[in-house]
Every structure is written in structure tokens, then in C-alpha cells.
Structure 1
Amino acid sequence: WPTFAEKAKKLLQKDKVAAIFGGWTSASRKAMLPVVEQNNGLLWYPVQYEGMESSPNIFYTGATTNQQIVPAVSWLLENRGKRFFLLGSDYVFPRTANKIIKAQLKAEGGQLVGEEYTPLGHTDYSTIISKIKEVKPDVVFNTLNGDSNVAFFKQLKDAGITAKDVTVMSVSIAEEEIRGIGGDVLAGHLAVWNYFQSTDTPENKAFVEKYKKKYGKERVTDDPIEAAYFAVHLWAEAVKKAGSFDVDKVKKAADGIEYKAPGGTVKIDGETQHTWKIVRIGEIQANGQFKELWNSGKAVKPDPYLKSYPWAKNLN
């Protein structure tokens, strides 16, 4: 993670960039946060995250928790069952996400039957899979990151556990990860995002076509790709409105700016510097794409500190 801070510092101090687009995982963002604040830079972070953060020098174009985790838990309680097993990688995002999920389960009548964390890059899930078999949850809420997902899902399948036996809901498995793990291994399991390659809008049809033309027809788009793509467009619109690349002027101009993104119209919320987004739950198909099961119908206002949820008032 220190590499992210080091490179952000170089971009701002030496290269004098007007904006940085990127970061991957909350640990990388938290490493860059003091750098962009101290140098009054601008970071556009495109990945869903655990909320509980707002920086005057960061625009968040990935989902915050009320645009991903919270609606997913409510949907699961209504459609898949009350018994939850939480599985995550051992770092800031899963730990914070699961703290939120536990408070929500308590408030909405769910039951926690297990909670496990493994180091990033961990590959042996036999003991945890034995625990899942033993406690028989309705849902495994998965906040594993990176290669651990490959190991977990392959070992789950090898243990004879399919999506018919237990629903695994993931927040970090998108089309690119399915390509690496295999649609046959993941078929039937669920993920919650704001965008799928299969999202049916004219903008997305054109976006996917252009993306494949540039990067290869076997390549796939996904949520963080779309969020990084429209981040550049939102920034450009703010620059045009401000008539300047100056960070303070761009920030001021950004409030309320809208863009017709591939996944639907997105809008910057000036108060939090997060983005209004539609929420989508999809079922993974054997061909590596998602079949949408549910969406929020309209863009959801970002609420990074979950102020609109009474059950979240003791979280920080």
C-alpha cells in the first residue's frame, strides 16, 4: 500500500497532475488520502467500499454501503433466508462491512451463525468450508478480495456445495473475476453492484462494443471499469463548468453534475463527493455474465455514514 502513497505524491508534486483516477482496495485509498489532502490534489476512486469516510480531496464513484451492502442484506433477508455466515479477507473493508452487516441483521431480524477472516492471498478454505457445512447458513456474505476468491469458490464446488445448497453473495466478484475463476464454478451465486456488462441501456451497448474493439472481443467490462470511465467524464464536465483545472474551483463546480453513464445517469452529491447510483443484484451465469434479479429502479443518494439508518447510529 505504501507504493500507492509514493506514486500519488510523485504525480502531484513532480508531474503536477490536475487529477488522479485510481486506487484498488480501501487500504490503497487510505494510503493515498493524507497525500492528496496535504497536497490539495484530487483523487477519483472507482471501487465500491465500506463507507464511513469522506475527504474534501476524494470523489468516490464506486458504491458506498447504502448503495451495495445494505440493500443486498435487506434483499437476502426477504428472499434467501435469515441465517448469515460472514467470510472476509482480514483488512479494513471486510471488517468494517461486517460490522455494518451485524448491526443491520440485528435490526432486521437476521441471525449471525459464523464469522471468519483470512489473510489477503489465503488459499486453503477447507476448515472454513467444514464450518459452513456444519452450521448450514442460508447465506454466505462474501467480502474476500483477490485470489482468495478463486480458492474459496473452487474448493466450495469440490466439497459438493452449490448455489442450490447455500447462496453466496459477493461484493468483489465482477465479470473480470468470473473470467478468472470460471462461470461454471460460480454459476447460480450472486453479486451486488451498480453496473453489469449485461445492463440494458443504449449507452452500455455502445460502451461494451467500443471496449471490446479496443481491448479484444474476449474481454469484459465490469462495475469498477464503468465507475473509472464515468469518473473521467464527470471530472471533465466539472472542469468545463469551472473553466479551470484548479482543484478548489473544480470541487465547487462538481456539485449536482450529471452524466449518462453506461449503467444509467449518475450524479455527484456535492455534500459527500460521492455519486448517486442505481443498485443491482445479479445471478452469475455459466457464460460469465450476470442475469439481473433486482434493481433499485432509480439512483440511490449516497449515505457514507449511514445517517438515515437508526440501527447504524452507534457505528463509526
Structure 2
Amino acid sequence: MENNKKNSAIFIDPGEHLKQPPKRSPSLRRAARLSVGLITLGFALTSCGTLGGGEANDDDADATANDPLTIGVITPMTGVASLEGNALRDGFELGIKHLNADGGVFGQDVELIFIDDQGDAAISTQSAQRLIQQDEVDYLFGTIAGDTSEAVAGVAAEQQVPFSTAMIGSIPHCSPHFWPFGATELMVTEGLVPYMIEEYGENAALVGNDYLFPRQYHDASRSLIEEAGGNVSVEEYSPLGTSDWQPVINRLADADPDWILTAVVGGDAISFSQQSDQFGLLDDAGISGVSLQQEFYPGTAEIIEGSVTAQPYSDQLPGEDNEAFVEEFREAYDFTDPIPVVAATSYHAAHYIGAAVEAAGSTDPEAISEQMPQVDIGGLMGSSSFDQDNHTFSTQMYLFEIGPDGDYNPIEDFDIVTDPMDRDCS
């Protein structure tokens, strides 16, 4: 995909991080906010410009409350998770561009700073520290893999900066200013698993990459399979970046499953799907799971045609909001493939965060977090909202069948889905 940006944001090389940044209180961070425009502008002049860059209104009585909202975005633009990372970047950037065209926040353009964390938790940590301490961002957004999300969440919580993710899946972290927009593992499997058992049979195989999200995804799916009267005959994990999936595929085949639920992600999702087809694993077995997400479709098209997956979004959903988003996204990025869920979620998150900050009346983290469960903007993802206590994001969920031209066609509407996860983040 070619990324044709008419208005670029600030993109920071992952090597340009603060070393052991001093811890500063939120009040000091806000007090220093007036100089941030000079810092980011100086970088923009020597680097590649900003998205937005509207001038502050000198007539406003409260200068601090009316400084431009600045959001730091940490995402893997290179590396094994770059398919998801670039989709997140594009969706969020387009959402902020759309928000700015409608007046921004506090009547000013929202400013973005992007850092490529390469899917490395150590770089994610350094990136969060740099964005908070040096660039004085008001909000953090992004990350893909669970370990990178945990890394950023820890820094954000310590520094009392709001942070949101957009990928499907949850992490153990829970704090007053953490607001994840992605559907949880339970939300994307509770409608899918009964369908797969009814359609293919009771004998399921689970496979995924060996890190937090795939294991949590399969913890949820295993419970649902057993509750529905099915059984898990085999469960296999392999590290991110695996190129040879044949040993795993052989062990899956030996279990003779009726269907396979896959939590293989990134570029691995493509190689696993292609090799599963090559070695005959899918000849007599169904397949579903996150490996069927839209960002992987160009490499898996004919293999997954006719399969189903459960997600909160497809570019084939009806409605004016989706039609407008699809047209904007395709034009902005010269994009012809199925639009990924994480791109749509990030686009929606940009508008949601903007509405929450506007309602808060300032960039104070307490004020923003007070508004996050109250916001209901409708729009692309429908009437979605955060739970006051566990901070999960309830959203519309659908079952999609994948057509021959990459159309993810809705065949069942699960309505608004919630996760009753027992935790108190407030």
C-alpha cells in the first residue's frame, strides 16, 4: 500500500529517545506546555512537518486549557507487525485530519507525533518516555502487540497521561487513565465459536503466536468451546517471525481437527495460512480467527474465501458514515484492499478522544478520564462506549463471510457486545 499523505505529521526515528528522562508531575508538564509548540515546530522545520499546526487564540482567557491537543502515536511501522501498525497509523491520522477539518479541539488543530516502535517493547517504553517528557504530549495512542501495550501503559500510568489502544485484545494493565478501544478476546469469540461448532464439528485446534494476546484469545475460546460441548484436540504456539510453520502444521494435522481457530498475527498470519493450504491442512478442516483479518487478505485471498470471522467492522457494512469513511480512506491512501478493523477503530477513536477532551474543557488527565465513559458519538462504530469500572469498550459485533473479491459481507449481527470482565480500573 502506498501512503500518500498530503499533510504529514511529525515522524520521529526510534533512535531519538531521551535517556533516563526525569520524572515530572502532571502540573509541571502542563506548565511547560506553552513552549511545546516551539519544540515541535523546530523539529518540524528540520524533519517533515506537522498535521494541523493551528495557531492558539490569543484572546482566550485560559491559555493552558486552550493550547492545542497533542497526541503521541506509538505503532510498529516496520517489522513483523507493520501490517497492523500502518493500518492503525493511517486510520488515526485520517480521523484527526477529519476532526481538524471540523474545527479540531478547542477551536484548534490537534497535533500528532508518530514514533515507530518496530514492535519492540523496549523501544515502546523509550518512545512513551520521550513523548511525555520531551514532546509534552497530552495523550498516548497506539501499539499492537500486548507486551508493547503493557510497556506503554506502565509509563503512561506512572506519568498520569491518558493512553488508548485500538487492536483487538486486552492486556492485564488496568488504571484510571487507560482506555482501550479494541474489542476483547471474549467479545470476538463468543458469537464465533458456537457458529464454528455447528458448521464444522466439535473438534477444534488452536494455534497462535507465542505471546500474550494469542494465549488470552485461546483461553477465552477454549472456555467457550467446552461450554458449547466441543473439545480442543491440540494447541500450538510459535514465536513471532516464524517462517517455517510445517512442524506446527504437522502436529495440527495429526489431531485431525474439524476446524482451526488461529491467533497467528502479522506477517506470520500470511505465511501460516499459505503453508496450511500448501500442506493440505485446510482440505478437510474449516478455519477462522484473527488470521482472517482484512490486513492479511492480500496474501491469503483464495485460501480464506468462503470462511467466516467475527469482528466489529467491515467496509461492506451499510450506512452513510461507513460509506464516507471508506471513500476518504481509499482516496487518502490509494487503498484498494479490504480496510482493516484497526484502521476503522483508530479513525473512530480519534473522533471519540477529541469529543472527550472537548467535553473535559482542558487536557487535564482527570477531566479527560471523567468524560471517557460519558461520550457517545455514534458515527463509524455505532453507539459504542466505555464501561465506567472495567474500561472495556462495548461495540457492535458481526459475523462476516469472506467473498471472492475481498468483501467481508455481514451474515449475522450480534448487536452491542460487552465484556463483564471483573476488574476495577476507576
TM-score after normalising by structure 1 = 0.89
Tell me which of 272, 286, 292 is aligned to 1:173.
292
Residue 303 of structure 1 aligns with an amino acid whose one-letter code is P
Q: Which residue of 2 aligns with 1:86?
A: 206
Give the Cα–Cα distance (whole angstroms) in 2 for the partners of residues 6 and 151 of structure 1.
31
Give the Cα–Cα distance (whole angstroms) in 1 for the partners of residues 246 and 263 of structure 2.
17
In structure 2, do the counterparts of structure 1 residues 51 and 190 end up closer, same or farther at CA, with 3 Å as the change threshold? farther
Say whether residues 1:23 and 2:143 are aligned partners: yes
**RMSD between superposed Cα atoms in Å:** 2.0
Residue 90 of structure 1 aligns with an amino acid whose one-letter code is D
Give the Cα–Cα distance (whole angstroms) in 2 for the partners of residues 220 and 113 of structure 1.
33
Residue 280 of structure 2: SS of its match in structure 1? coil
Residue 180 of structure 2 aligns with an amino acid whose one-letter code is Y
Tell me which of 164, 178, 198 is aligned to 1:44.
164
Query: For 1:122-161, what aligned pairs fall within 5 Å after superposition?
Result: 122-161=242-281
Q: Is the 8 A contact 2:222 2:232 kept in 1?
A: yes
Give the Cα–Cα distance (whole angstroms) in 1 for the partners of residues 353 and 164 of structure 2.
9
Give a deviation string over 1:206-261, Cα, whole Å, max 9, x none: 10001111111425422111111111111111112111111110101222311223
Say whether residues 1:34 and 2:154 are aligned partners: yes
Q: Which residue of 1 aligns with 2:318?
A: 200
Q: Is the 8 A contact 2:153 2:173 kept in 1?
A: no
- Pairwise CA distance, 1:172: 4.4
Equivalent pairs: percent with the same residue? 22
Structure of higher CA gyration radius: 2
Give a deviation string over 1:274-301, Cα, whole Å, max 9, x none: 21101122222232221223221x2122
Q: Is the 8 A contact 1:82 1:109 kept in 2?
A: yes
Residue 291 of structure 1: SS of its match in structure 2? strand
Residue 299 of structure 1 aligns with an amino acid whose one-letter code is I
Residue 227 of structure 2: SS of its match in structure 1? helix
Give unpaired runs (5+ residues) of structure 2.
Answer: 1-120
Give the Cα–Cα distance (whole angstroms) in 2 for the partners of residues 233 and 260 of structure 1.
10
Q: Is the 8 A contact 2:186 2:221 kept in 1?
A: no
Residue 138 of structure 2: SS of its match in structure 1? coil
Q: Is the 8 A contact 1:201 1:264 kept in 2?
A: no
In structure 2, do the counterparts of structure 1 residues 121 and 190 end up closer, same or farther at CA, with 3 Å as the change threshold? farther
Aligned residues: 304
Give the Cα–Cα distance (whole angstroms) in 1 for the partners of residues 420 and 125 of structure 2.
26
Give the Cα–Cα distance (whole angstroms) in 1 for the partners of residues 303 and 171 of structure 2.
30
- Pairwise CA distance, 1:89: 0.4
- Pairwise CA distance, 1:53: 4.5
In structure 2, do the counterparts of structure 1 residues 79 and 186 end up closer, same or farther at CA, with 3 Å as the change threshold? closer
Residue 187 of structure 1 aligns with an amino acid whose one-letter code is E
Query: For 1:266-285, what aligned pairs fall within 5 Å after superposition?
Result: 266-285=384-403
Which structure is richer in relative contact order (CA contacts within 8 A, separation 6 or more)?
1
